[in-house]
Amino acid sequence: MELIINGKVQQLEAKTIKDVVEHFGLSSKPIVVEADGVVLVSEQWVDTAVKPGMKIELVHFVGGG
Amino acid sequence: MDTWKIGNRTLHSRFFIGTGLFPNPYVQQEAIRASGAEVLTFAIRRINLEQTEDDSILQHIEPEQFQFLPNTSGARTAEEAVRIARLARASGLSDWIKVEISANERTLLPDALETLKATEILVKEGFTVLPYISDDPIMCKRLEEAGAAAVMPGASPIGTGLGILNPYHLGLIVEEAKVPVIVDAGLGTASDVVQAMELGVSGVLMNTPVAKARDPIKMAQAMRVAIEAGRLAYLAGRIPKKKYASASSGLEAFKLS
């Protein structure tokens, strides 16, 4: 399925947001997901289906002031 | 030192330390330890999907020991800041947010109107909002009225180390404020920190002057004691300035002649 992840077009097999997170090996990391503008807490990942063309943002905390 | 509060959280340290720009995680961790800070700031960014092994900053920091203060840096509008704030809160790590909205790349000075708008929205959504704002007493009052838990006027532009450009305004902000005032941005060294604390602010937020010092760990310690010195001097009350000398020994009549 074609998804837009962090601004880049990606082809990957995924049914839910949880699959996307696992695809990138981020399951155990403190990350946050936004799908088509909706912020998802980790408990929602398994129930959120992905659709072709969905815009997904995978973000995390970095150093900052 | 005397304690203070932001929202429901009692704080013992008056140092908010930023986590960017440190030469390596070890120095960062030791500098945080030396600073005695309880509040750590972070930014929110996209994960680099080509290099997910890249270690997250949180791997080196025990979340339960600190209050996290994520910022909205990178936002140019209230809408973008609100989006980043919601992402930050979804981490489950903190509902505090530093609203930081810059419309000018060269100065990174805060956009007051967008900052006020974002503060209003985020307060309604239940965030503990700490807006970064210019050293404008009226804007600070407006943000307080909008429900900000603290106001964070800049001393000078971010990362410049120019120190306090307008101590008169900072003094007015402190006089008027009913919420804590935290000087955020522009401080360069310990004397700037002492000056800020002597003006009666509740705390200071620093990143660059510690992280980019020749010895960040030592500078974190210097800043910590500067905060204490300035706070104590503020509480003790300085003498008024006078134009001419006045002898310390007094008793004119007993002078040897």
B181 neighbors B154 (Cβ within 8 angstroms): no
Helix (H, G, I), strand (E, B) or coil at B9: strand
Which residues of chain B are modeled with pLDDT < 50?
A: none
Closest chain A CA to residue B74: A64
Say what the pLDDT of residue B55 is.
61
Rounded to whole angstroms, the Cα distance separating B209 from A12 reads: 44
B141 catalytic? Reply is no
For chain A, domains (ranges, CATH) are: 2-60 (3.10.20.30)
* Per-residue pLDDT reduced to its tens digit, A17-30: 999 999 999 988 88
Contacts of B219 (CB under 8 A, 6+ apart): B31, B189, B209, B210, B213
Which helix (H) or strand (E) is B11 found in, with range?
strand B9-11
Helical residues (DSSP H) of chain B, grouped into ranges: 25-35, 78-90, 112-124, 137-145, 167-176, 190-198, 208-211, 216-236
Which chain B positions have a beta carbon within 8 Å of A42's beta carbon? 92
Is the Cβ of B67 closer than 8 Å to some Cβ of chain A?
no
Residue A46 neighbours by CB distance under 10 Å: 12
**Closest Cα in chain B to A35:** B87
Q: Tell me how far CA of residue B176 lies from CA of A60, B133, B140, B173, B181, in angstroms.
A: 37, 15, 9, 5, 10
Pairing of strands B67-70, A31-35: unpaired
pLDDT (0 to 100) of residue B54? 59
CB contact under 8 A, A32 and B45: no
- Dist CA B81 CA B12 (whole Å): 29
Among candidates B43, B87, B91 on the partner chain, residue whose Cβ is nearest the Cβ of A64: B43
Q: What pLDDT is attached to residue B46?
A: 95
Candidate from B42, B88, B93 with C-beta closest to A63: B42
Q: Name every chain A residue with its beta carbon within 8 A of the beta carbon of B68.
A: 61
Whether A20 and A12 have beta carbons less than 8 Å apart is answered as: yes
What number is the ipTM of this complex?
A: 0.94
Taking only the tens place, the pLDDT of each residue in B140-191 is: 999 999 999 999 999 999 999 999 999 999 999 999 999 999 999 999 999 9
Q: Check CB contact under 8 Å for B56 and A61.
A: yes
DSSP state of B181: B
In CATH terms, the fold of domain B4-254 is TIM Barrel (3.20.20)
To the nearest whole angstrom, how far is the Cα of A41 from the nearest Cα of chain B? 5
Stretch (H or E) spanning B203? strand B203-206
Confidence at residue B53, expressed as pLDDT on a 0 to 100 scale: 66
- Nearest residue on chain A to B47, alpha-carbon basis: A59
Q: Is residue B47 packed enough to be buried (19+ CB in 10 Å), middle (13-18) or exposed (0-12)?
A: buried
Percent of chain A at pLDDT > 70 equals 100
Chain B hits for A26, Cβ within 8 Å = 47, 52
